[in-house]
Amino acid sequence: MTTGNMQEGNVLKPVKVGVCGLGTVGSGTVNVLRRNAEEIARRTGRPIIVEQIGARRDNPNCDTTGINITRDIFDVVSNPEIDVVVELIGGYDIARELVLKAIANGKHVVTANKALIAVHGNEIFAAAREQGVVVAYESAVAGGIPVIKGIREGLSANKINWLAGIINGTGNYIMTQMRDYGRDFNDVLKEAQELGYAEADPTFDVEGIDAAHKLTILGSVAFGIPLQFEKAYTEGISKITPLDIEQADELGYIIKHLGIARRNDNGVELRVHPTLIPKDRLIANVHGVLNAVMVQGDAVGPTMYYGPGAGAEPTASSVIADIVDIARGLDIDYANRVPPLGFTDETLDQNTPILPMEEVNTAYYLRIQAVDRPGVLANIASILSEKGISIEAIIQKEAKESQLVPIILLTHQTKEQQMNAAIADIEALADVNDEVVRIRVEGLDS
């Protein structure tokens, strides 16, 4: 490291930061560091100075007066003046190269890049350990909400049993609009794109990949397991219809797109999918672009962390919190720091498997389009019974113009593979048209 704990009067030597990427979060970070410089220095005990910015172009939303600008982000990681490299370029390959070079050069790293950490985190943390530097990533999960800190440090006394989060703001915005106005998925998505809430290519958000990146990180921090993004089960919201939202409402539930991590005797569940939650759960009332993560620990019980999950300044808030953590303890040895995933590297659990979705136990909402003929319901009930699945509630609607009636079922918990088999049998019934709609149900109550 280039700076030490040398005092100048009562104020320690500044920490010098290099920011790579000057998009939404980069400009937010530079702006907040400037605006709140005094407050931040009062908290940190030393000034935090943006020494250099690496970005392909300027950003009109960001005042960079007095800051050294380079068009080559790799200048930043080799700048000997810089203590902390802030990676805000996003993506996989270049970000990985940049971060590994920064680490090799003895820089601490702060990143908001959930894809990078979820996919290359194990390699990056090993390199950081080798060099004795910090790689901090609070802003990668749930934007401005300090939930990584909450789990790694605030709940360190607990065996975490499960967590469940609304961790993609775009998805939650779409689900909220669909519910409040009975609108179609595609209709809301198009508007969200026009308003800038959704990307031109919305795949990462609506297909659950972004949420799975974040869930992978949360799961590792909760249970002390290596990052295993490739084993997370990922299902998006594009098949959710206003009809299912309405039926769920009638049954006392709200549909949310959740990331769920749960530990049981056989392994760890890591799954992202639409989920029916009882309306009276606090997290069921988290709407629009906001995020929330419930975390259940054996000592503390259920807790929840709520706030803006994206946006320039909320994300900058967490980026800077990571910088402040580093700056407060610039001279601390690696062994005295919070380990990257909250468990010491050598005690990460390499053996506990991530369970395939077929092994997951959950309850289900099923919507079956059937011909309105006697005996259909009996056939369906008998298939479920054969598979050992018990029914909690049934709504059978009257047929309207068409001869098809929707049959809505809530089941008790069963293994996903039992449900797959039951659905295959139900779909094979002569009186059942279309695919069976299946949405998982979670009580989130203990």
Catalytic residues: 214
Binds its own copies by CB under 8 A, chosen from 302, 380, 408, 438: 302
Residues 6+ apart with CB under 8 A from 14: 3, 46, 47, 48, 49
Binds its own copies by CB under 8 A, chosen from 3, 61, 70, 158: 158
For residue 317, state whether it binds its own copies (rule: CB under 8 A).
Answer: yes
Give me 339's structure tokens: 């380990």
What per-residue string of b and e applies to 341-376 under the rule 16 or more CB within 10 Å gives b? bbbeeeebeeeeebbebeebebbbbbbbbbebeeeb
| Residue (24 or 414) nearer to its own copies, CB | 24
Site string for its own copies, 33-62 (x = CB under 8 A): x-xx--xxxxxxx-----------------
| CA–CA dist 144, 136 (Å, integer) | 14
For residue 308, state whether it binds its own copies (rule: CB under 8 A).
Answer: yes
CA-wise closest residue to 88 among 30, 44, 35: 30
Give me 419's structure tokens: 């449900």
Binds its own copies by CB under 8 A, chosen from 8, 57, 60, 299: 299
For residue 301, state whether it binds its own copies (rule: CB under 8 A).
Answer: yes
Assess contact for 101 and 129: CB atoms under 8 A.
no
Site string for its own copies, 15-34 (x = CB under 8 A): -------------x---xx-
Binds its own copies by CB under 8 A, chosen from 304, 363, 376, 383: 304
Q: Is 413 helix (H, G, I), strand (E, B) or coil?
A: coil
Site string for its own copies, 216-255 (x = CB under 8 A): --------x-------------------------------
Give me 242's structure tokens: 């206003």
Q: In the bound complex, what is the minimum distance in angstroms from residue 112's beta carbon to its own copies?
A: 13
- Burial of residue 243 (CB within 10 Å: 0-12, 13-18, 19+) is middle
H/E element holding 49?
strand 48-54
- Pairing of the two strands 432-441 and 361-371: antiparallel
For residue 64, state whether it binds its own copies (rule: CB under 8 A).
Answer: no
| Residue (101 or 328) nearer to its own copies, CB | 328
| CA–CA dist 214, 235 (Å, integer) | 14
| Residue (280 or 434) nearer to its own copies, CB | 280
Mark out the alpha helices in 311-434 (DSSP H runs). Answer: 312-328, 376-386, 416-427
Helices 312-328 & 37-44, crossing angle to 10 degrees?
30
**Which residue stretch of 186-194, 247-255, 295-303, 428-436 sits at the interface with its own copies (rule: CB under 8 A)?**
295-303
Assess contact for 173 and 292: CB atoms under 8 A.
no
**Which residue stretch of 82-90, 163-171, 338-346, 404-412 sits at the interface with its own copies (rule: CB under 8 A)?**
338-346
| Residue (204 or 306) nearer to its own copies, CB | 306
Q: In the bound complex, what is the minimum distance in angstroms from residue 226's beta carbon to its own copies?
A: 14
Q: In the bound complex, what is the minimum distance in angstroms from residue 222's beta carbon to its own copies?
A: 11
Straight-line distance from the first to the last Cα atom of the chain, in angstroms, rounded to the nearest whole number: 46
Q: In the bound complex, what is the minimum distance in angstroms from residue 311's beta carbon to its own copies?
A: 8
Q: In the bound complex, what is the minimum distance in angstroms from residue 40's beta carbon to its own copies?
A: 6
Binds its own copies by CB under 8 A, chosen from 54, 219, 307, 340: 307
Site residues (CB under 8 A) for its own copies, limited to 255-294: 282, 285-286
Q: Is 110 helix (H, G, I), strand (E, B) or coil?
A: strand
**Which residue stretch of 98-106, 142-150, 237-245, 268-276 sits at the interface with its own copies (rule: CB under 8 A)?**
142-150
Q: Can you list the positions of beta strands (E) in 222-342?
A: 233-234, 253-264, 267-278, 290-297, 301-308
Binds its own copies by CB under 8 A, chosen from 145, 188, 189, 217: 145
Give me 362's structure tokens: 């959950």
For residue 309, state whether it binds its own copies (rule: CB under 8 A).
Answer: no
H/E element holding 26?
helix 24-35
CA atoms 156, 157, 162, 167: torsion sign? negative
Binds its own copies by CB under 8 A, chosen from 8, 93, 194, 333: 333
**Site for its own copies (CB under 8 A): how many residues?**
73
Q: In the bound complex, what is the minimum distance in angstroms from residue 126's beta carbon to its own copies?
A: 15
| Residue (301 or 388) nearer to its own copies, CB | 301
